[in-house]
């Protein structure tokens, strides 16, 4: 085989291999998940001022969700302004999640974790405008007093980087905080919900 034919053959094999890999590799291979179980809940929260245009979103914010540590379906997260003409965020894809224990054993109900730390992509809507968005959050179901419940949410005006993951190892508290790129359109600092709760399940 001449050098030119060998070079053409090699390039062809590389091209075929790349195409085969793209076909065989599922989209979920770009997502990373640690832990088992799910968390449900939501509540009324206090948000702060957006980075974009200085928009004041200090009116109460509500969230509701059902999320699975291993990316089992369904995975839903909705964040809304109390203002009828205000913002709305809808989670489209849970990209990475790490479920671990912050306070201790969850009982009742029994669960192997109490903290759901995650990041995903979705849609941010305000009025007639909708844009791709990234959301990062930490929901904690503190055992005992309701004051141990905690919610943190940050949403930005850019989609998450496709390589972003927080699952270094099971039960290792890697965090999503600060990983969403772009400008912050909503920030809910870590706080006890004014109403509602976060509930971990097996």
Residues 159, 96 share a domain: yes
With a cut of 90, say whether residue 137 has pLDDT above it.
yes
Residues 54, 15 share a domain: no
Residues 107, 39 share a domain: yes
Give the whole-angstrom CA distance, residue 198 versus residue 42. 6
Give the whole-angstrom CA distance, residue 122 versus residue 88. 10
Residues 112, 17 share a domain: no
Looking at the structure of the chain, the number of domains it has is: 2
| Mean pLDDT, rounded, of the chain | 80
- Residue-number span of the structural domain to which 179 is assigned: 31-201
Residues 195, 100 share a domain: yes
Q: What is the pLDDT of residue 147?
A: 60
The number of residues in the chain equals: 202
Residues 99, 132 share a domain: yes
CB 150, CB 140: distance < 8 Å: yes
- Least confidently predicted of 76-80, 82-86, 113-117, 133-137: 82-86
Residues 164, 143 share a domain: yes
Mean pLDDT score, 126-131: 92
Residues 91, 77 share a domain: yes
129-140/61-68 β-pairing: unpaired
Q: What is the pLDDT of residue 8?
A: 47
Q: What is the pLDDT of residue 145?
A: 55
With a cut of 80, say whether residue 71 has pLDDT above it.
yes
Q: What is the pLDDT of residue 52?
A: 59
Residues 122, 106 share a domain: yes
Q: What is the pLDDT of residue 168?
A: 67
Residues 47, 118 share a domain: yes
Residues 149, 50 share a domain: yes
Mean pLDDT score, 38-45: 95
Q: What is the pLDDT of residue 28?
A: 40
Q: What is the pLDDT of residue 174?
A: 75
Residues 112, 182 share a domain: yes
- Higher model confidence: residue 144 or residue 69? 69
Q: What is the pLDDT of residue 146?
A: 53
């Amino acid at each position: 085989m001449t050098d030119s034919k060998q070079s053409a053959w090699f390039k062809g094999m590389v091209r075929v291999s790349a195409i085969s890999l793209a076909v065989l590799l599922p989209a979920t291979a770009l997502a990373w998940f640690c832990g088992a179980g799910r968390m449900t809940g939501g509540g009324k929260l206090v948000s702060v001022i957006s980075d974009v245009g200085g928009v004041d979103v200090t009116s109460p914010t509500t969230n509701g969700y059902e999320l699975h540590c291993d990316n089992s379906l369904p995975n839903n997260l909705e964040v809304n302004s109390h203002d009828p003409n205000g913002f709305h965020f809808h989670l489209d894809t849970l990209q990475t999640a790490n479920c671990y224990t912050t306070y201790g054993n969850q009982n009742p109900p029994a669960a192997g974790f109490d903290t759901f730390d995650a990041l995903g992509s979705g849609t941010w809507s305000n009025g007639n405008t909708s844009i791709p968005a990234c959301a990062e959050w930490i929901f904690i179901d503190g055992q005992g007093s309701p004051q141990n419940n905690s919610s943190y949410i940050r949403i930005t005006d850019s989609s998450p980087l496709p390589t972003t993951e927080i699952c270094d190892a099971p039960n290792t508290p890697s965090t999503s905080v600060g990983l969403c790129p772009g400008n912050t359109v909503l920030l809910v600092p870590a706080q006890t919900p004014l109403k509602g709760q976060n509930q971990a399940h097996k």
